[in-house]
Amino acid sequence: MPTSTGICEYLPDVNPYVYQQRALLIDLQEWVANGTTPPPSRYARVSDKTLLPPNAVGFPNLIFPTGISAYPLVEFTGLYNTRNLLFWGPRFHPEDESGITREPPVVEDLAYNILEPAVDSDGNDIDGVRSTTLQVPLGSYMGWNYRAADYGEGDLCDLTGSFIPFAGTFAQRQANSDPRPSLHERYTNSAGYVAAVTSAANNLVNERFLLPNDATSIINNANSVTIP
């Protein structure tokens, strides 16, 4: 579990993607070699409103548990990296980037309409291949983070997600004005947490989004988590 924010404002994201990646590589191999159809794709979509404009994704107001950060309010600003439409001159060929006659180029317009995944009441993405970490969370796992004071405060902390841990008990989350249920409220005890992780892992194995050996490793790791 990370304990330092580094140059970022919030703790780094601890939701691994490698387990799903390994399973999908096997699915790809089976598809190419044996014609076995891979699992249906899962991603946020406009059609079911799980892909929305940044100001509409539904991110909750969150509070850090006391003592973890000097910045207790977790504020979602919807900030994203813009990509501009640039004019490099009338002879410019984007295929090989030749024919540049305007340097620097002229900014003509924003090229892309930015949409972001909708989140649940914990701030976690609703759609996509949801790992055991997201299905049985210990906090909020986001794909964005901001730079801390003295490091370009308020700008995006590039290539770094963030993790906002849940309070341990109902009393602790009340003291922090945290709207998210505590670990104890969610799982009752450590055994309840392990049971929930085991169920989620087994379901992912059945759906071919997780390898059996990785499921065993995830369940074993869950036994080291203490729920108040």
Q: Which tokens belong to 121? A: 């009441």
What 3-state DSSP class applies to 173? helix
In percent, the amount of the chain with pLDDT more than 90 equals: 57
Least-confidence region, from 60-64, 102-106, 173-177, 205-209: 60-64
Looking at the whole model, is its pTM more than 0.75?
Answer: yes
* DSSP type of residue 147: B
Residues 6+ apart with CB under 8 A from 129: 20, 42, 209
Confidence at residue 204, expressed as pLDDT on a 0 to 100 scale: 98
Alpha carbon distance 16, 8 (integer Å): 19
Q: Which tokens belong to 26? A: 């096997």
Residues 6+ apart with CB under 8 A from 90: 101
Give the closest residue to 38 by CA, choosing from 25, 54, 27, 49. 27
Interior/surface letters 180-206, b for 16+ CB within 10 angstroms, e for the rest = bebbbebbeebeebbbbbbebbeebbe
Alpha carbon distance 120, 59 (integer Å): 7
Q: Which tokens belong to 27? A: 């699915």
Domain regions of the chain by residue span:
18-222
How would you class 98 by CB atoms within 10 Å of its CB: exposed for 0-12, middle for 13-18, buried for 19 or more? exposed
Alpha carbon distance 163, 10 (integer Å): 7
What 3-state DSSP class applies to 93? strand
Confidence at residue 223, expressed as pLDDT on a 0 to 100 scale: 97
Which is higher by pLDDT, 75 or 117? Answer: 117
The strand pair at 84-87 and 62-63 is best described as unpaired
pLDDT value at 69 more than 50: no
Segment 124-162, tens digit of pLDDT: 999 999 999 999 999 999 989 989 888 888 888 988 899
pLDDT value at 14 more than 50: yes
Average pLDDT over residues 44-52: 94
Provide the 10 A C-beta neighbour count for residue 69: 17
